[in-house]
């Protein structure tokens, strides 16, 4: 066992002096909730989504929830969602009282399969929620064409995909709304936080009302809203991280390219990138064709962090599985099931050294003989 004491973590959230100084500066200022830092963060983040309106909230989940609310999606509506995602994607749909329709993914990109989306549209479909999983953009050209033809809203779950793009258009700049997460393990963070992007000024205004009790003027409540405001401490940290995102993203892409070039084990399938896609590698996710548990144990033993996102597809989680069983609803999602059984994410974060990368390659290639 070499270098096992130097464990290479699967993710490494950054809280450096700059982030700490920004937080302290805000705390000393006394303006700590939805003040000038939040406004500046929204403005600066907007550059990542082709200048769309940006509305900051307290998490990616709140961003999804409010986006659906602002688009008027609710009881009686169906929303098409991939089951191969984090539960938040489907939870947001259920939180607004709409029905989740699970659709399968493409084997190569792990993102919604547009042909399956088209087949799932019914008279009740109100929206499609593509998830740009692992930082790979979903097939937005085809999904937007289906949405336009059927008059459907599109809520992009870009929580893992800051600055990913398809054919030069950034994620979050395609749909009726885009949503981002700033959880600490994301490519950039604000401790906790989220952002919604939209081209529609009216939707943006509704989002601003919804995040703050329905108020623009204090105590002049216009609609029923929640409190999902972002703090200025979070926004100040988010602004620092936003400034570092471009460099970090380039490093992730370079790390991924190195891994893909050097991983040669026959039973390990490296990630594919669709034509025109800019994959920003929130995760570097391989498929293990063999005993995944054994492979993960070997990697851990070699000091290489690894994790499965997601071992259980959302449709198999209790709050979805039980009502579906009761209603006799069975989802046919073979690629989702296969992905959940095969995927393993390896370290790709920007703090990796050349030595780390070589250790990852060595450990993964050794699986060729070990499984």
Ligand X SMILES: Cc1ncc(COP(=O)(O)O)c(C=O)c1O
Binding site for ligand X (CB under 6 A): 59-61, 85-86, 88-89, 131, 157, 159-160, 181, 183, 194
Closest CB to ligand X among residues 117, 263: 117
**Measured from the CB of residue 182, what is the shortest distance to ligand X in angstroms?**
7
**Measured from the CB of residue 181, what is the shortest distance to ligand X in angstroms?**
3
Closest CB to ligand X among residues 179, 306: 179
209/189 Cα distance (integer angstroms): 24
Write the DSSP assignment of 186-213 as a string of letters.
Answer: SSS--SS-EEEEES-HHHHHHHHHHTBT
Contacts of 171 (CB under 8 A, 6+ apart): 49, 132, 137, 140, 156, 158, 161, 164, 165, 178
145/354 Cα distance (integer angstroms): 42
**Measured from the CB of residue 92, what is the shortest distance to ligand X in angstroms?**
8
326/63 Cα distance (integer angstroms): 30
CA atoms within 13 A on the CB side of 100: 28
Closest CB to ligand X among residues 160, 198: 160
CA atoms within 13 A on the CB side of 185: 13
**Measured from the CB of residue 68, what is the shortest distance to ligand X in angstroms?**
12
Closest CB to ligand X among residues 86, 284: 86
Residue nearest to ligand X according to CB distances in the complex: 60
Closest CB to ligand X among residues 48, 295: 48
- Distances in Å between the alpha carbon of 53 and those of 34, 83, 129, 206? 16, 29, 19, 12
* Cβ count near 5 (within 10 Å): 7
Q: E strands, 71-115, where?
A: 78-82, 99-103
What positions carry a catalytic annotation?
Answer: 186
Quick one: tokens of 220? Answer: 């002049």
**Measured from the CB of residue 91, what is the shortest distance to ligand X in angstroms?**
9
């Amino acid at each position: 066992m070499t270098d096992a004491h130097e464990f290479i973590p699967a993710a490494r959230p950054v809280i450096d002096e700059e982030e700490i100084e920004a937080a302290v500066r805000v705390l000393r200022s006394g303006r700590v909730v939805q003040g000038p830092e939040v406004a500046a963060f929204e403005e600066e983040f907007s550059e990542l989504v082709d200048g769309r309106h940006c509305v900051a909230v307290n998490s990616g989940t709140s961003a999804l929830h409010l986006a659906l609310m602002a688009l008027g999606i609710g009881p009686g509506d169906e929303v098409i969602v991939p089951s191969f995602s984090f539960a938040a994607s489907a939870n947001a749909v259920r939180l607004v009282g709409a029905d989740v329709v699970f659709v399968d993914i493409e084997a190569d990109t792990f993102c919604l399969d547009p042909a399956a989306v088209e087949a799932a549209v019914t008279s009740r479909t109100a929206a499609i929620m593509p998830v740009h999983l692992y930082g790979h953009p979903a097939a937005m050209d085809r999904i937007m064409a289906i949405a336009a033809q059927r008059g459907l809203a599109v809520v992009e779950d870009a929580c893992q995909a800051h600055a990913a793009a398809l054919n030069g258009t950034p994620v979050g700049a395609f749909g009726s709304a885009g949503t981002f997460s700033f959880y600490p393990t994301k490519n950039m963070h604000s401790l906790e936080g989220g952002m919604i992007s939209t081209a529609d000024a009216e939707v943006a205004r509704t989002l601003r009302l919804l995040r703050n009790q329905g108020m623009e003027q204090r105590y002049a409540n216009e609609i029923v809203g929640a409190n999902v405001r972002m703090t200025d401490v979070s926004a100040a940290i988010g602004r620092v991280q936003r400034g570092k995102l471009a460099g970090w993203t380039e490093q992730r892409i370079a790390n991924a390219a190195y891994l893909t070039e050097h991983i040669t084990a026959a039973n390990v399938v490296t990630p594919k990138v669709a034509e025109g896609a800019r994959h920003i590698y929130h995760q570097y996710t391989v498929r293990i064709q063999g005993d995944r548990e054994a492979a993960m144990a070997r990697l851990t033993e070699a000091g290489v962090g690894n994790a499965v996102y997601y071992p259980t597809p959302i449709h198999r989680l209790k709050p979805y599985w039980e009502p579906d069983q009761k209603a006799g609803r069975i989802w046919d999602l073979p690629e989702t099931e296969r992905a959940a059984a095969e995927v393993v994410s390896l370290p790709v974060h920007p703090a990796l050294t050349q030595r780390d990368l070589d250790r990852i390659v060595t450990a993964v290639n050794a699986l060729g003989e070990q499984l």
